[in-house]
Every structure is written in structure tokens, then in C-alpha cells.
Amino acid sequence: MTRKRSICVLIGDISHDYTNELMRGMNEAAAQQGIALFYMSGKQKHIASIDSDKEQEAIGYYNSIYDYAELISPDAYIISCGSLSGFTEDSHYRDFLRRFEGKKHVVLHHNME
């Protein structure tokens, strides 16, 4: 029996129209190709306010879900950087994306200089 192909989608804020449309399109395409999608969602931008002194710590807790992405052993990753919370500089994105070096992945919606 062959294993169904899978893609892990790392996405942040799922409350925006952009993200809803993105997910709808990915779901339709994956269904047509017989691919399973696994969504991992970090901190939502519209979540209850957090004390500014502890905001980065809280973002780290919410975004720790991304540390478990490899446990599902996906065939590829889709990383929607435009919706990820807590990355304030391009260097933060680069550090985050290093974990996917050597793995099949696509990065959406972020320009890094």
C-alpha cells in the first residue's frame, strides 16, 4: 500500500480574507491531486491583547507549533510568511526558514532583501 502524499502548511493568522482564500485554493488543488494537507497555525494577530513586556514570549509559545512540523514527515512544506506573527525583521524570517533547507518547500508572500 502506498502512502498518500502530504504537505505541511505553516500559516499564521487565519482570520484574514487573504488567508481564507489561500486555504480554499490549497484545499481544492490538494483534493484534485490526492494530497493530504496538514495546517499548523501559530499566533493569531487578533488574539486578546498581551502585556507588551511579555508579548514576544507569548508569541514564542503560540509559534512553537512550528517546531513539530517534521513529526508528520510531510513530502513538502508551504510556508506563508506573510501571515506569520512575531517575526519583526528579515533576519528572523531567514533564521526560521533555515530549518527547511534541504527539504522541499515553497515560501509565500514575503520579500526579503
> Which domains does the chain show, CATH number per domain?
6-108 (3.40.50.2300)
pTM greater than the 0.85 cutoff: no
Q: Which residues contact 111 (CB under 8 A, 6 or more apart)?
A: none
Q: Are 7 and 18 in contact (CB under 8 A)?
A: no
Q: Are 77 and 38 in contact (CB under 8 A)?
A: no
pLDDT in tens, the chain (113 residues): 677 899 999 887 777 777 888 899 999 999 999 999 999 887 666 665 556 667 667 666 667 778 888 888 999 999 887 667 666 677 877 888 888 899 999 988 655 55
Return the DSSP state at 103. Answer: S
C-alpha distance from residue 6 to each of 66, 74, 77, 104, 110 (Å): 16, 5, 9, 12, 23
